[in-house]
A and B are shown apart, each in its own frame.
Chain A
Amino acid sequence: AQSVTQPDIHITVSEGASLELRCNYSYGATPYLFWYVQSPGQGLQLLLKYFSGDTLVQGIKGFEAEFKRSQSSFNLRKPSVHWSDAAEYFCAVGAQYGGSQGNLIFGKGTKLSVKP
């Protein structure tokens, strides 16, 4: 069965420092992979997605992620974190089956705190 693991529940980084959030997935075929961000009291916003092609994907707000098939990973990175990046980040894998348009299976999320 498809699954997503985000090993880090909570990460704290200093403003201006680099960031890497880890995501490992389990999926039989080539996966569709996504990173979403959720600010307090808000819905989820898509940061970036990977379907095929270049394994380094650029997203909004200066984020990027790299797909590594050999490691079943899709880690999210940002070279310099801003205080406004404090939020919860969710990795998701897309699964398409039956007559559905496809569903997202989410990890448990990583909460990012930013120190001034």
Chain B
Amino acid sequence: EAGVAQSPRYKIIEKRQSVAFWCNPISGHATLYWYQQILGQGPKLLIQFQNNGVVDDSQLPKDRFSAERLKGVDSTLKIQPAKLEDSAVYLCASSLVSQGLRGEQYFGPGTRLTVT
């Protein structure tokens, strides 16, 4: 079974530029999560999708971050414009919706973003 795919793996941009990350979850996983992991911290949830609908985006900085999951499968996370403090690893995870918290979240390898 293929795991969660993310691209790119690394990205370096200058502040005020825009950037987009892509995630393809495990086939059949209706729930998709984007996390931000700043160096020295644990992952922090940015947004959760169930199919193509948002169920929790309370911690997403909506003035600069946006995310979509148009067909209920893959997803993109965008930052525009980027700030220095956005430097982090962006992790995508997916899980089976029917299991809720009892289901395992499977994580992708992440995208390491450096903003200079």
Q: Is the CB of A43 within 8 A of B110?
A: yes
Q: Is the CB of A51 within 8 A of B102?
A: yes
Q: How large is the interface on B (under 10, 10 to 19, 20 to 34, 35 or more residues)?
A: 20 to 34
- Asked if B72 is an interface residue, CB under 8 A from chain A, the answer is no
Count, A-B residue pairs, CB within 8 A: 64
Q: Is the CB of B48 within 8 A of A43?
A: no
Selected contact of A43 from candidates B4, B42, B56, B104, CB within 8 Å: B4
- List the A side residues contacting B62 at CB < 8 Å: none
Mask of A11-23 contacts with B, CB within 8 angstroms, 1/0: 0000000000000
The residues in B between 16 and 56 inclusive whose CB is less than 8 angstroms from any CB of A are: 31, 33, 40-45, 48, 50, 55-56
Q: Is the CB of A90 within 8 A of B42?
A: yes
Q: Is the CB of B104 within 8 A of A46?
A: yes
Bound Cα distance from A43 to B109, whole angstroms: 4
A sample of 12 more A-B contacts (CB under 8 A), given A43-B109, A109-B40, is A36-B107, A43-B3, A43-B107, A43-B108, A43-B110, A49-B104, A90-B43, A101-B95, A104-B43, A104-B105, A106-B44, A108-B42
